[in-house]
Protein backbone atom coordinates (compact mmCIF):
# COMPACT_ATOMS: atom_id res chain seq x y z
CA UNK A 1 0.00 0.00 0.00
CA UNK A 2 1.44 3.40 -1.04
CA UNK A 3 1.71 6.10 1.60
CA UNK A 4 -0.12 9.17 0.25
CA UNK A 5 2.05 11.48 2.37
CA UNK A 6 5.13 10.52 0.37
CA UNK A 7 3.51 11.31 -3.00
CA UNK A 8 4.33 15.07 -3.02
CA UNK A 9 7.95 14.40 -2.03
CA UNK A 10 8.30 11.79 -4.76
CA UNK A 11 6.81 14.23 -7.28
CA UNK A 12 9.27 16.99 -6.32
CA UNK A 13 12.16 14.53 -6.44
CA UNK A 14 11.12 13.43 -9.93
CA UNK A 15 11.05 17.03 -11.15
CA UNK A 16 14.46 17.74 -9.63
CA UNK A 17 15.95 14.69 -11.33
CA UNK A 18 14.47 15.74 -14.66
CA UNK A 19 15.80 19.28 -14.16
CA UNK A 20 19.27 17.92 -13.39
CA UNK A 21 19.22 15.74 -16.51
CA UNK A 22 18.22 18.63 -18.74
CA UNK A 23 20.84 20.94 -17.24
CA UNK A 24 23.47 18.28 -17.88
CA UNK A 25 22.31 17.99 -21.49
CA UNK A 26 22.55 21.77 -21.89
CA UNK A 27 26.08 21.85 -20.44
CA UNK A 28 27.08 18.90 -22.60
CA UNK A 29 25.83 20.63 -25.76
CA UNK A 30 27.77 23.81 -24.94
CA UNK A 31 30.86 21.77 -24.07
CA UNK A 32 30.78 19.81 -27.33
CA UNK A 33 30.44 23.01 -29.36
CA UNK A 34 33.26 24.60 -27.40
CA UNK A 35 35.60 21.68 -28.07
CA UNK A 36 34.77 21.80 -31.77
CA UNK A 37 35.27 25.56 -32.10
CA UNK A 38 38.26 26.04 -29.80
CA UNK A 39 40.71 24.90 -32.47
CA UNK A 40 39.48 27.72 -34.73
CA UNK A 41 39.52 30.44 -32.05
CA UNK A 42 42.03 32.67 -33.87
CA UNK A 43 40.14 32.45 -37.17
CA UNK A 44 36.86 33.23 -35.41
CA UNK A 45 38.31 36.30 -33.73
CA UNK A 46 39.77 37.48 -37.02
CA UNK A 47 36.32 37.14 -38.61
CA UNK A 48 34.77 39.07 -35.73
CA UNK A 49 37.37 41.83 -36.02
CA UNK A 50 37.05 42.10 -39.81
CA UNK A 51 34.67 45.14 -39.76
CA UNK A 52 37.19 47.09 -37.67
CA UNK A 53 40.30 45.89 -39.49
CA UNK A 54 38.78 46.95 -42.80
CA UNK A 55 38.63 50.59 -41.61
CA UNK A 56 41.94 50.85 -39.75
CA UNK A 57 44.56 53.06 -41.41
CA UNK A 58 47.23 51.29 -43.39
CA UNK A 59 49.88 49.89 -41.09
CA UNK A 60 47.64 49.91 -37.99
CA UNK A 61 46.61 46.75 -36.20
CA UNK A 62 44.92 45.59 -33.01
CA UNK A 63 46.91 45.22 -29.81
CA UNK A 64 46.80 43.11 -26.62
CA UNK A 65 47.45 45.04 -23.41
CA UNK A 66 47.29 42.17 -20.93
CA UNK A 67 49.90 39.42 -21.02
CA UNK A 68 47.40 36.55 -21.16
CA UNK A 69 44.94 38.36 -23.46
CA UNK A 70 46.05 36.58 -26.67
CA UNK A 71 44.90 33.30 -25.11
CA UNK A 72 41.99 34.23 -22.86
CA UNK A 73 40.19 36.62 -25.23
CA UNK A 74 39.73 34.01 -28.03
CA UNK A 75 38.87 31.49 -25.29
CA UNK A 76 36.14 33.80 -23.98
CA UNK A 77 34.89 34.46 -27.50
CA UNK A 78 34.59 30.75 -28.32
CA UNK A 79 32.77 30.05 -25.06
CA UNK A 80 30.23 32.80 -25.72
CA UNK A 81 29.85 31.70 -29.32
CA UNK A 82 29.14 28.13 -28.16
CA UNK A 83 26.33 29.37 -25.93
CA UNK A 84 25.06 31.59 -28.74
CA UNK A 85 24.91 28.70 -31.23
CA UNK A 86 23.33 26.36 -28.67
CA UNK A 87 20.49 28.76 -27.82
CA UNK A 88 17.83 26.83 -29.84
CA UNK A 89 18.75 23.58 -28.09
CA UNK A 90 18.87 25.28 -24.68
CA UNK A 91 15.44 26.80 -25.22
CA UNK A 92 14.12 23.42 -26.35
CA UNK A 93 15.30 21.82 -23.10
CA UNK A 94 13.63 24.59 -21.08
CA UNK A 95 10.46 24.17 -23.14
CA UNK A 96 10.45 20.37 -22.68
CA UNK A 97 10.77 20.81 -18.91
CA UNK A 98 7.90 23.28 -18.45
CA UNK A 99 5.59 22.07 -21.25
CA UNK A 100 3.89 19.24 -19.24
CA UNK A 101 2.65 21.81 -16.72
CA UNK A 102 1.09 24.12 -19.30
CA UNK A 103 -2.45 24.17 -20.64
CA UNK A 104 -3.11 23.59 -24.31
CA UNK A 105 -3.71 27.25 -25.12
CA UNK A 106 -0.54 28.20 -23.21
CA UNK A 107 1.50 25.72 -25.26
CA UNK A 108 0.08 27.19 -28.44
CA UNK A 109 1.28 30.64 -27.35
CA UNK A 110 4.64 29.88 -25.68
CA UNK A 111 6.25 27.73 -28.37
CA UNK A 112 5.78 30.24 -31.24
CA UNK A 113 7.06 33.02 -28.96
CA UNK A 114 10.21 31.05 -28.12
CA UNK A 115 10.85 30.26 -31.78
CA UNK A 116 10.23 33.80 -33.01
CA UNK A 117 12.27 35.38 -30.21
CA UNK A 118 15.26 33.17 -31.06
CA UNK A 119 15.09 34.01 -34.77
CA UNK A 120 14.68 37.73 -34.06
CA UNK A 121 17.67 37.72 -31.71
CA UNK A 122 19.84 36.11 -34.39
CA UNK A 123 18.52 38.62 -36.93
CA UNK A 124 19.46 41.51 -34.65
CA UNK A 125 23.00 40.19 -34.24
CA UNK A 126 23.43 39.76 -38.01
CA UNK A 127 22.06 43.25 -38.60
CA UNK A 128 24.59 44.67 -36.14
CA UNK A 129 27.52 42.84 -37.75
CA UNK A 130 26.76 43.45 -41.41
CA UNK A 131 25.09 46.89 -41.27
CA UNK A 132 25.98 48.71 -38.06
CA UNK A 133 29.63 47.76 -37.57
CA UNK A 134 30.92 48.99 -40.96
CA UNK A 135 29.23 52.37 -40.47
CA UNK A 136 30.23 52.79 -36.82
CA UNK A 137 33.86 51.79 -37.27
CA UNK A 138 34.14 53.89 -40.39
CA UNK A 139 32.88 56.85 -38.37
CA UNK A 140 35.21 56.26 -35.41
CA UNK A 141 38.34 55.76 -37.46
CA UNK A 142 37.48 58.73 -39.67
CA UNK A 143 37.20 61.24 -36.82
CA UNK A 144 40.57 60.40 -35.26
CA UNK A 145 42.71 63.56 -34.90
CA UNK A 146 45.72 64.09 -37.09
CA UNK A 147 48.73 62.20 -35.82
CA UNK A 148 46.69 59.77 -33.64
CA UNK A 149 47.17 56.11 -34.47
CA UNK A 150 44.04 54.01 -33.99
CA UNK A 151 44.99 50.70 -32.30
CA UNK A 152 42.20 48.93 -30.44
CA UNK A 153 42.78 46.44 -27.63
CA UNK A 154 41.37 43.00 -28.46
CA UNK A 155 39.72 42.64 -25.03
CA UNK A 156 37.95 45.98 -25.17
CA UNK A 157 36.92 45.34 -28.74
CA UNK A 158 35.30 42.04 -27.73
CA UNK A 159 33.42 43.72 -24.86
CA UNK A 160 32.22 46.46 -27.24
CA UNK A 161 31.05 43.95 -29.85
CA UNK A 162 29.22 41.77 -27.32
CA UNK A 163 27.44 44.86 -25.94
CA UNK A 164 26.27 45.89 -29.40
CA UNK A 165 25.19 42.35 -30.22
CA UNK A 166 23.03 42.11 -27.12
CA UNK A 167 21.65 45.62 -27.63
CA UNK A 168 20.45 44.87 -31.15
CA UNK A 169 19.39 41.30 -30.30
CA UNK A 170 17.18 42.51 -27.46
CA UNK A 171 15.90 45.46 -29.50
CA UNK A 172 14.71 43.08 -32.19
CA UNK A 173 12.49 41.36 -29.60
CA UNK A 174 9.99 44.23 -29.79
CA UNK A 175 7.35 42.25 -31.78
CA UNK A 176 7.47 39.40 -29.27
CA UNK A 177 7.05 41.78 -26.34
CA UNK A 178 4.18 43.57 -28.11
CA UNK A 179 2.28 40.36 -28.86
CA UNK A 180 2.87 39.08 -25.34
CA UNK A 181 1.52 42.26 -23.75
CA UNK A 182 -1.62 42.04 -25.87
CA UNK A 183 -2.01 38.31 -25.24
CA UNK A 184 -2.03 38.66 -21.45
CA UNK A 185 -4.45 41.58 -21.60
CA UNK A 186 -2.22 44.43 -20.41
CA UNK A 187 -2.90 46.52 -23.49
CA UNK A 188 -4.60 46.40 -26.89
CA UNK A 189 -3.37 47.03 -30.45
CA UNK A 190 -5.41 50.23 -30.64
CA UNK A 191 -3.81 51.58 -27.45
CA UNK A 192 -0.37 50.73 -28.80
CA UNK A 193 -1.13 52.48 -32.07
CA UNK A 194 -2.15 55.63 -30.17
CA UNK A 195 1.17 55.56 -28.27
CA UNK A 196 3.26 55.28 -31.45
CA UNK A 197 4.83 58.79 -31.16
CA UNK A 198 5.96 58.07 -27.59
CA UNK A 199 7.49 54.78 -28.68
CA UNK A 200 9.45 56.44 -31.48
CA UNK A 201 10.93 58.96 -29.04
CA UNK A 202 11.71 56.15 -26.58
CA UNK A 203 13.40 54.14 -29.36
CA UNK A 204 15.79 57.01 -30.09
CA UNK A 205 16.50 57.44 -26.38
CA UNK A 206 17.28 53.72 -26.04
CA UNK A 207 19.48 53.94 -29.11
CA UNK A 208 21.34 56.85 -27.54
CA UNK A 209 22.16 54.85 -24.41
CA UNK A 210 22.88 51.45 -25.99
CA UNK A 211 24.98 52.55 -28.95
CA UNK A 212 28.12 54.65 -29.34
CA UNK A 213 27.68 58.45 -29.27
CA UNK A 214 26.98 58.96 -32.95
CA UNK A 215 23.74 59.62 -34.79
CA UNK A 216 24.33 56.80 -37.28
CA UNK A 217 24.26 53.88 -34.86
CA UNK A 218 21.50 55.54 -32.82
CA UNK A 219 19.30 55.82 -35.91
CA UNK A 220 20.17 52.31 -37.07
CA UNK A 221 18.86 50.96 -33.76
CA UNK A 222 15.82 53.22 -33.43
CA UNK A 223 14.41 52.70 -36.93
CA UNK A 224 14.34 48.87 -36.77
CA UNK A 225 12.74 49.08 -33.32
CA UNK A 226 9.98 51.30 -34.73
CA UNK A 227 9.41 49.03 -37.75
CA UNK A 228 9.33 45.95 -35.52
CA UNK A 229 6.88 47.74 -33.24
CA UNK A 230 4.56 48.12 -36.23
CA UNK A 231 5.04 44.42 -37.02
CA UNK A 232 4.10 43.56 -33.44
CA UNK A 233 0.89 45.61 -33.68
CA UNK A 234 -0.02 43.85 -36.93
CA UNK A 235 0.47 40.36 -35.49
CA UNK A 236 -1.32 41.25 -32.25
CA UNK A 237 -4.37 42.36 -34.25
CA UNK A 238 -4.24 39.10 -36.19
CA UNK A 239 -3.96 37.15 -32.93
CA UNK A 240 -7.00 38.89 -31.43
CA UNK A 241 -9.04 38.19 -34.57
CA UNK A 242 -8.18 34.50 -34.35
CA UNK A 243 -9.01 34.49 -30.64
CA UNK A 244 -12.39 36.15 -31.24
CA UNK A 245 -13.14 33.74 -34.06
CA UNK A 246 -12.30 30.75 -31.85
CA UNK A 247 -14.45 32.15 -29.03
CA UNK A 248 -17.38 32.63 -31.42
CA UNK A 249 -16.97 29.06 -32.65
CA UNK A 250 -16.95 27.75 -29.07
CA UNK A 251 -20.10 29.74 -28.27
CA UNK A 252 -21.81 28.34 -31.36
CA UNK A 253 -20.93 24.77 -30.42
CA UNK A 254 -22.11 25.40 -26.87
CA UNK A 255 -25.43 26.74 -28.06
CA UNK A 256 -25.87 23.74 -30.32
CA UNK A 257 -25.10 21.36 -27.44
CA UNK A 258 -27.59 23.17 -25.22
CA UNK A 259 -30.24 23.00 -27.93
CA UNK A 260 -29.62 19.27 -28.44
CA UNK A 261 -29.81 18.67 -24.69
CA UNK A 262 -33.10 20.56 -24.47
CA UNK A 263 -34.52 18.59 -27.40
CA UNK A 264 -33.54 15.28 -25.76
CA UNK A 265 -35.08 16.40 -22.49
CA UNK A 266 -38.38 17.29 -24.22
CA UNK A 267 -38.50 13.96 -26.05
CA UNK A 268 -37.75 12.04 -22.85
CA UNK A 269 -40.53 13.82 -20.95
CA UNK A 270 -43.11 12.52 -23.42
CA UNK A 271 -42.20 8.89 -22.64
CA UNK A 272 -43.07 6.72 -19.65
CA UNK A 273 -41.69 3.25 -18.99
CA UNK A 274 -40.11 3.18 -22.42
CA UNK A 275 -43.43 3.81 -24.22
CA UNK A 276 -44.54 6.94 -26.00
CA UNK A 277 -47.42 8.77 -24.35
CA UNK A 278 -50.54 9.41 -26.43
CA UNK A 279 -51.05 12.89 -27.72
CA UNK A 280 -53.36 14.91 -25.42
CA UNK A 281 -57.02 15.29 -26.47
CA UNK A 282 -57.78 18.99 -26.97
CA UNK A 283 -61.44 18.43 -25.83
CA UNK A 284 -60.45 16.59 -22.66
CA UNK A 285 -60.08 19.76 -20.67
CA UNK A 286 -62.79 21.70 -22.50
CA UNK A 287 -65.92 23.10 -20.84
Show pLDDT as tens, one digit a residue, over the chain (287 residues): 445 555 556 667 887 888 888 899 999 999 999 999 988 888 888 898 888 888 777 767 788 887 888 888 888 889 989 988 988 888 888 877 877 776 776 677 777 778 888 898 899 899 888 988 888 787 777 766 766 677 788 888 888 888 888 888 888 888 888 888 887 778 888 888 888 888 888 888 887 777 666 677 778 788 888 888 888 888 888 877 877 776 676 766 766 667 666 666 666 555 545 555 455 555 544 44
**Residue 272, helix vs strand vs coil:** strand
Long-range contacts of 148-152 (CB under 8 A, 24+ apart): 149/57, 149/60, 150/56, 150/57, 150/60, 151/60, 151/61, 151/62, 151/63, 152/52, 152/62, 152/63
Q: Spell out the alpha helix ranges (H) of 99-214.
A: 104-127, 133-142, 154-171, 174-183, 189-194, 196-210
Measured CA distances, 32 to 78, 102, 143, 176 (Å): 12, 31, 43, 31
pTM: 0.73
Q: Please tell me what DSSP assigns to residue 101.
A: G
Taking residue 217's Cβ as centre, other Cβ atoms within 10 Å add up to 25
Taking residue 277's Cβ as centre, other Cβ atoms within 10 Å add up to 10
Amino acid sequence: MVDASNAPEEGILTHLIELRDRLLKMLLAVGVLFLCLFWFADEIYTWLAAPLLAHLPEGSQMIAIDVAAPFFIPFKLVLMLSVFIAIPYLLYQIWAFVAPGLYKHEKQLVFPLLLSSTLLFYLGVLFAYYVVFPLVFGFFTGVAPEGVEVSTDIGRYLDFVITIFFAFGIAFEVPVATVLLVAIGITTPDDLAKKRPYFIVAAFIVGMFLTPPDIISQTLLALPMWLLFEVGIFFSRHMLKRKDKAAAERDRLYDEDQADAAAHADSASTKRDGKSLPAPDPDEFGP
